[in-house]
Structure 1
Amino acid sequence: MGEKYDAIIIGSGSNGISAAIHLQQKGLKTAIFEQASIPGGATKTLEVTLPGFKHDIGSSILPLGYASPFLRTLPLGEHGLEWIFPDIPYSHPFNDGSALACYKDIDRTAAQLLKDEKSYKKLFGSIVNNWPELESNLLGPLKWPDHPVKLMKFGLKAFVSAHHLVNHYFKDEKTRVFFYGSAAHSTLSLNSVASSSFGLVLNILAHKYGWPFPKGGANKFTEALLSYYKSKGGELFLNTNITDIDQLPEAKTYMFDLTPKQLLEIKGTRFTSLYRKRMENFKYGAGVFKMDWALSEPIPWLNEKCRKSGTVHLGYSQKEIERSENSAKYYSTNKNPYVLLAQHTLFDSTRAPENKHTAWAYCHVPNGSTRDYTAEIEAQIEKAAPGFKNCILAKSTMNTQALQHFNPNLVGGDINGGSQNISQLFTRPVTRLSPYTTPDPRVYICSSSTPPGGGVHGMGGFSAAKKLIQDHFQDLI
């Protein structure tokens, strides 16, 4: 393989493919090298329970994949991608059989909240309308804002703890728990600064776009990206585990869709000892314990709102969810974990045999934990859906070690490429003028360990590719 490339991308997650696409769009010659036999990083679909039951092993509900400022410019529909929009983006059931639903319509959502109706509309009304002006700043590296006043107003709400925000805005316990369901996607303690930002952004996306997922499996998203990439002349090499840059063909630049741990293991990089030390100090976040079920029928939720939701958050009080997220951070066990659950087959019959269903769920656990949380997760579901266990035909579980084996970027089961606390939110993996550069001018990093962090959005790859072009191919700007 002596052919010269302008850029070689190592890793085929959404960020790696997005970087490769943007470079290829600019007329550069690129190739992607992937260690696995199936591309996509953590965005893959496999039959892990019974034949005919398609389960998303990692990423599954992809609102940022749909709404990404870069990805939505691509003609992915022409390459086989079809989006499914559940009737309700997400819901949150309670012990008394009631539930709150996050509808796309803000007024309809707020109307459920009774004494918190006005506060919810006050909190979300303006920032949903302002999202087009905010997204480029919030989904990219730290820079001078395009709309500083609007960003400041968002920041006053976002860069506080979720605990502080819900207690400031909401009077009712259920409303607070409802917001916690989104904020806890951060895998941060809900007392952490900026934990509220995740709840705000996810609810904005629900109201602006919905929480869609790809028809047929999350792998269809990866397949569409790669189909478009190849149509632009890009090349893909699978089953190629790169441990040394010298294994790769000659290229002017190299882009790594890897977290710091993997990047530091690559030989041939010209990193300074100081940079290596700073990268070694990069902090990974909580892990997850993941489950998939093949079901004989839909989950028998007590509340109809849950039966119409693509995603269901499970956590039955404010204190319960706070304890759950604290236990993942402070390495303690938790009998009542906060659970994120997706039920695709209510809206996409292609994922299971006729009249059968699937479910996908996980809870947050200490990084590297090997504890089995099957009983705890199923008990949380059973509280809101009595009889759920009777519907189970087969199940698959993955602890943090299994997840890291599935995708080495999931270090200790961390699905966000590193802790997304305030110190690592915009300056990940280390503080530099550009977080995508390294001391080796040939080498760039574009994984979820760079801004804007975890999620299937491709924005880390897009921003890294723009920086690479600026540094090495000025004539293309």
Structure 2
Amino acid sequence: MSGVDAVVVGAGPNGLAAAVVLAEAGLRVEVFEAADTLGGGARTVEATLPGFRHDVCSAAHPMALASPFFREFDLAAHGVRMLVPEASYAHPLDGGRAGVAWVDLERTADGLGVDGKAWRRLFGPLVRDWEGTTGFAMSDLRRPPSAPVTAARFGLRVLEQGSPLWNARFSGDLAPALLTGVAAHAVTPPRRLAPAGVGLLLGALAHGVGWAVPEGGSQAIADAMVDAVTSRGGVFHTGHRVTDLAELPPARATLLDVTPRALAGMARWPAGYERALRRFRYGAGACKVDYALSGPVPWANADCARAGTLHLVGSREEAVAVEREVAAGRHPDRPYVLVVQPGVVDPTRAPAGAHTLYAYAHVPAGSTLDVGAAVTAQIARFAPGFQDLVLASTVTTAAESAVENPNHVGGDIAAGAVTLRQTAFRPVPRWNPYATPRDGVYLCSASTPPGPGVHGMCGYRAARHALRERF
């Protein structure tokens, strides 16, 4: 008789969330992780110089404070300090102007001039009921929403912003750029329904709870979950890449924080299910650049220095053109660059007076190109003199990211293209998106609902299904 009740493969945020839920239910849990350290995308390392701590994949966390799993887990009770910058994100334009998404919705609207009232009307209902917004957007989309009015308002706004009507409510250029920059988190051309939903959810949370930065790095989140599992008798095995389910100890439930591509190769599946797994599409990649800086970034717009996250791409029209270039397999000369400056709220990331800077550019899937120079130039476009502050930098291409983390297929940090079909049917069309044709085997990665982000909900929901069905 096996001494294990449940096995989890993959110790990223979702695998760890699943392990927490199972361990808290009193089960004997073992976790297998291919890397030598735990945390997956929520790890923090000294990637440039000693004393400069850089997040490996996730740095700012738009969904962490709103996630039902993390609210239940209570990060603060586990010693994790989630620091909220005054501004969740900013979007600079040429000439020193910028749209700034302050946590305060009214302050944001006041700064958007002619489009302030439109921004307030767009986001106001979603922010006032951010719990209902989150409950719908972070659900598995298989059951009626708990807040149907809010869900309907969210859906109508998605239809608007994912269609040719997306400029109908705006007159200026700041608000459209600000919204397009956040929608581009989906790593796909923004004027589509799925990225519109991403932009509206993240935008609502920017005002509802704020985009938090964990003190000391994202590793703090992972470490808290690891501690919660080990304190209940859970066991972790690092440096063990699982390629076949037969390698695992017998257990009543097996939860896999892997992509559909990896799942397809781990066992023999019914032909239809395997075809569906192999049809699952992956999106564009990300080329990441970590910087060690001698001081804060000299943004041309002073308010940008108060934002935790910035989207560097220019106008709405430029953002659309750039993302279409990437989708077509080309490297734009001036790519979309997402920047996180944790030092705005967390001085522990670097020696006194110095800063770390996290950046990535969208690139075609599987790209082997080092776009570090283009990323530096795009930052300097909105922060003249930036390059003079760089003490050291480290580039991770999309192809290298895929080697370091097999869940990043082709450098796709979202673990699957963010499309309408793959939002509704992620990863395959099934009533229970986490269950597989094998009894007791579940998929719990970001390739399942609600998709990418450090929220733990994929693992949480898969584990809840396993508890109901197997225990």
TM-score bin, normalised by smaller chain? over 0.9
CA 339–254 in structure 1, closer or farther in 2 if over 3 Å, else same: same
Asked if residue 460 in structure 1 is aligned to residue 458 in structure 2, the reply is: yes
| C-alpha separation in 1, matches of 2:230 and 2:321 | 47
1:365 alignment counterpart:
363
1:13 alignment counterpart:
12
Q: In terms of mean alpha carbon deviation, does 240-249 or 287-296 score higher?
A: 240-249
CA contact (8 A) 2:436 2:443 kept: yes
User: How far is the alpha carbon of 1:330 from its aligned partner?
Assistant: 1.3
TM-score, scaled to structure 2: 0.97
2:75 alignment counterpart:
76
| C-alpha separation in 1, matches of 2:458 and 2:32 | 18
| C-alpha separation in 2, matches of 1:164 and 1:54 | 43
| C-alpha separation in 2, matches of 1:162 and 1:296 | 41
Alignment coverage as a number of residue pairs: 470
CA contact (8 A) 2:127 2:207 kept: yes
Unaligned runs of 5+ in 2: none
Deviations, residues 170-210 of structure 1 (Å, cap 9, x unaligned) = 11112111111111111121122232111111111111111
| C-alpha separation in 1, matches of 2:433 and 2:327 | 25
User: How far is the alpha carbon of 1:166 from its aligned partner?
Assistant: 3.6
Provide the identity percentage. 39
CA contact (8 A) 1:163 1:191 kept: yes
2:419 alignment counterpart:
421
CA 165–72 in structure 1, closer or farther in 2 if over 3 Å, else same: farther
CA 295–342 in structure 1, closer or farther in 2 if over 3 Å, else same: same
| C-alpha separation in 2, matches of 1:296 and 1:112 | 31
Equivalent residue letter for 2:199: G
User: How far is the alpha carbon of 1:161 from its aligned partner?
Assistant: 4.4
1:52 alignment counterpart:
51
Equivalent residue letter for 2:120: K
SS of 2:168 mapped into structure 1: helix
Q: In terms of mean alpha carbon deviation, does 438-447 or 144-153 score higher?
A: 144-153
Asked if residue 171 in structure 1 is aligned to residue 168 in structure 2, the reply is: no
CA 245–194 in structure 1, closer or farther in 2 if over 3 Å, else same: closer
User: How far is the alpha carbon of 1:408 from its aligned partner?
Assistant: 0.8
CA contact (8 A) 1:182 1:199 kept: yes
Deviations, residues 412-458 of structure 1 (Å, cap 9, x unaligned) = 01011101100000311100011101111121000000000000000
Deviations, residues 183-242 of structure 1 (Å, cap 9, x unaligned) = 111112112223211111111111111111111111111001111222233221111111
RMSD of Structure 2 on Structure 1 (CA): 1.5
Asked if residue 150 in structure 1 is aligned to residue 178 in structure 2, the reply is: no
1:126 alignment counterpart:
125
Instruction: Spell out structure 1 runs of 4+ moving beyond 6 A.
Output: none
1:33 alignment counterpart:
32
Report matched runs for 1:63-462 at 5 Å: 63-142=62-141, 143-162=143-162, 164=164, 166-266=166-266, 269-462=267-460
| C-alpha separation in 2, matches of 1:288 and 1:238 | 26
Deviations, residues 138-185 of structure 1 (Å, cap 9, x unaligned) = 212122222323312210112454464540221111211111111111
CA 464–239 in structure 1, closer or farther in 2 if over 3 Å, else same: same
| C-alpha separation in 2, matches of 1:240 and 1:204 | 39
| C-alpha separation in 2, matches of 1:160 and 1:286 | 25
Equivalent residue letter for 2:269: F
User: How far is the alpha carbon of 1:472 from its aligned partner?
Assistant: 1.4
| C-alpha separation in 1, matches of 2:394 and 2:358 | 10
